[in-house]
Amino acid sequence: MSEKIAVLGAGSWGSILASVLDENGNDVRLWSYNPKQVEELNTAHTNSHYIKDFKFSPSLVAYSDLASALADVQTILFVVPTKAVRSVAGQVATILQKTGIQPALIHASKGIEQKTYKRISQVLAEEIPAANRKSITVLSGPSHAEDVARHDLTLVTAASESLDAAKHTQKLFMTNYFRVYTNPDIIGVEIGAALKNIIALGAGALHGLGYGDNAKAALMTRGLAEISRLGTSFGADPMTFIGLSGVGDIIVTATSANSRNWRAGDELGRGEALDDVINHMGMVIEGVATTKAAYELSKQRGVSMPITEAIYQVLYEGKDIRTAISDLMQREGRSEF
Ligand SMILES: NC(=O)C1=CN([C@@H]2O[C@H](COP(=O)(O)OP(=O)(O)OC[C@H]3O[C@@H](n4cnc5c(N)ncnc54)[C@H](O)[C@@H]3O)[C@@H](O)[C@H]2O)C=CC1
Ligand SMILES: O=C(CO)COP(=O)(O)O
């Protein structure tokens, strides 16, 4: 199977997914809005700010002009940070309207839009009227770009309301080190993908504060319980949260220094200020904005999310982390389920 594919967003994840698609024999156009990055990708075949010590194949071509990247493509993969999805999708829609092509739409971003609380697939469906809403697919799961770059074994999920669309994504990405499952539950997969970053921030903070394995296991388990409560309130399948995009992604992001969210939490736990952490990371820390969206959603829907609320208070209300942890521990005793 070989297709013309545009990958939009050349950060660590976009560029490595583009590389997987390129290795699979596709004609891949990697788009970035940063011309310097495009030049580096096309001349040195590196993307040094986002992915260290990795050489891309010269067959992978980068574009700074979106219309050229989209010319005649059969598939578009969106991998920009959540806050940029709507504006990039709007630009794509204008170009697709002019050219009349109707490519398959996949995304691999992990977040929830601020204020509208929409999932990424909902934003894409709204902005790109030509899209077949039911066939939009999300690719998600425990998958740090750094590990995929060195061909470490990686298992992810392609979720879509359309099984044909999910299978199409599965075929595009499958390699001997990158295995893709299908899942019809796009709601559960997108919610798990977004909210695990809140737990990764918390796990990093526990590490930075010097807490041990019991505390981290407790946070991951009870964090998953509240993600599952919010997800099922939207009709997600509870089983999704014990799959790759749920517990799988919590394990990888909440235990690894490759995770930007975990690292940000670690630095906060060591006493650094949030603004400083964001500034020197130089890459997206999705969990910061997702904490706000999830906290507001939980209040709107009456879903109990005490860990998310505690992290919201630390990030947005200046609450001391140790006080937040102590308050969580001293909540009234209750039944586990
Ligand atoms: N890095 C990873 O291992 C993984 C990341 N993800 C998700 O993929 C998404 C992208 O993450 P990364 O590639 O890691 O981010 P990154 O921070 O490494 O790169 C983001 C890229 O988006 C571009 N960008 C930023 N604002 C833009 C805008 N307004 N318009 C167009 N382009 C813009 C930047 O120039 C950069 O190339 C996030 O939602 C993240 O949660 C998902 C799985 C793994
Ligand atoms: O989603 C990821 C791995 O599955 C990447 O997480 P970070 O954005 O925290 O690096």
- pLDDT at position 179 over 80: yes
Domain 190-329 has CATH 1.25.40.10: no
- pLDDT at position 306 over 90: yes
- Give the residue among 199, 309, 304 at the shortest CA–CA distance from 246: 199
Question: Taking the chain, what is the end-to-end CA distance rounded to the nearest angstrom?
Answer: 46
Query: Which atom of ligand 2 is nearest the CA belonging to 13?
Result: 5
The residue whose CA has the least distance to atom 27 of ligand 1 is 84
- Give the residue among 262, 56, 217 at the shortest CA–CA distance from 270: 262
Ligand nearest to the CA of 38: 1
Sign of the dihedral defined by the CA atoms of residues 238, 240, 245, 246, in that order: positive
pLDDT of residue 60: 97
Contact 30, 19 (CB under 8 A): no
What CA–CA distance (Å, rounded) separates 74 from 55?
26
Average pLDDT of the chain is 97
Known binding residues for NADPH are: 12-13, 50, 110, 145, 260, 284, 286
- pLDDT at position 1 over 80: no
Hey, what amino acid is at 24?
N
Query: Which atom of ligand 1 is nearest the CA belonging to 283?
Result: 17
pLDDT of residue 291: 98
CA distances for 17 relative to 54, 85, 207, 210, 255, angstroms: 13, 17, 30, 35, 22
CA distances for 82 relative to 4, 108, 145, 216, 301, angstroms: 24, 10, 17, 27, 22
Task: Indicate where the chain has its CATH 1.10.1040.10 domain(s).
Answer: 190-329
The residue whose CA has the least distance to atom 15 of ligand 1 is 11
Question: pLDDT per residue over 80-89, tens digit each?
Answer: 999 999 999 9
pLDDT of residue 241: 98
Ligand 2 within 6 A of CB of 144 = yes
pLDDT band with cut points at 50, 70 and 90 for residue 172: very high
Which of the residues 36, 118, 167, 196 is marked catalytic?
A: 196
175 token code pair = 């390699």
pLDDT of residue 141: 98
Percentage of residues of the chain with pLDDT beyond 90: 98
pLDDT of residue 158: 98
Best probe residue, ligand 1, of 8, 12, 279 (max atoms within 8 Å of C-beta)? 12
Question: pLDDT per residue over 14-43, tens digit each?
Answer: 999 999 999 999 999 999 999 999 999 999
Hey, what amino acid is at 196?
K
The DSSP-derived string for 170-201 is HHHH--SSEEEEEES-HHHHHHHHHHHHHHHH
Q: Which CATH superfamily is domain 4-184 in?
A: NAD(P)-binding Rossmann-like Domain (3.40.50.720)
Contact 265, 310 (CB under 8 A): no
- Give the residue among 178, 191, 184 at the shortest CA–CA distance from 227: 191
326 token code pair = 């102590």
Ligand 2 mean position, distance from CA 188 (Å): 17
Task: Indicate where the chain has its CATH 3.40.50.720 domain(s).
Answer: 4-184
Section 254-265 average pLDDT: 97
Ligand 1 mean position, distance from CA 321 (Å): 28
pLDDT band with cut points at 50, 70 and 90 for residue 132: confident
The residue whose CA has the least distance to atom 17 of ligand 1 is 283
pLDDT band with cut points at 50, 70 and 90 for residue 270: very high
258 token code pair = 């490759």
pLDDT of residue 184: 98
pLDDT of residue 130: 83
Known binding residues are: 9-14, 50, 110, 141, 143, 145, 196, 249, 259-261, 284, 286
Known binding residues for substrate are: 110, 260-261
pLDDT of residue 157: 98
Question: pLDDT per residue over 311-324, tens digit each?
Answer: 999 999 999 999 99
- Residues with Cβ within 8 Å of residue 4, at least 6 apart in sequence: 26, 27, 29, 72, 73, 74, 75
Percentage of residues of the chain with pLDDT beyond 70: 100
Known binding residues for NAD(+) are: 9-14, 145, 260
Ligand nearest to the CA of 265: 2
Buried b (16+ CB within 10 A) or exposed e, 299-335: eeeebebebbbbbbbbbeeeeebeebbeebeeeeeee
Section 205-219 average pLDDT: 98
- pLDDT at position 3 over 80: yes
pLDDT of residue 24: 98
pLDDT of residue 8: 98
pLDDT of residue 89: 98
Tell me which residues have their CB closer than 6 angstroms to ligand 1: 9-14, 32-34, 50, 79-82, 84, 87-88, 108-111, 143-145, 283-284, 286
Judge whether 196 counts as a catalytic residue.
yes
Ligand 2 mean position, distance from CA 98 (Å): 35
CA 139, distance to chain mean position in Å, is 9
What CA–CA distance (Å, rounded) separates 267 from 273?
8
- pLDDT at position 290 over 90: yes
Per 3-state DSSP, what percentage of the chain is helix, strand, and coil (rounded to 5)? 55, 10, 30
Ligand 1 mean position, distance from CA 240 (Å): 24
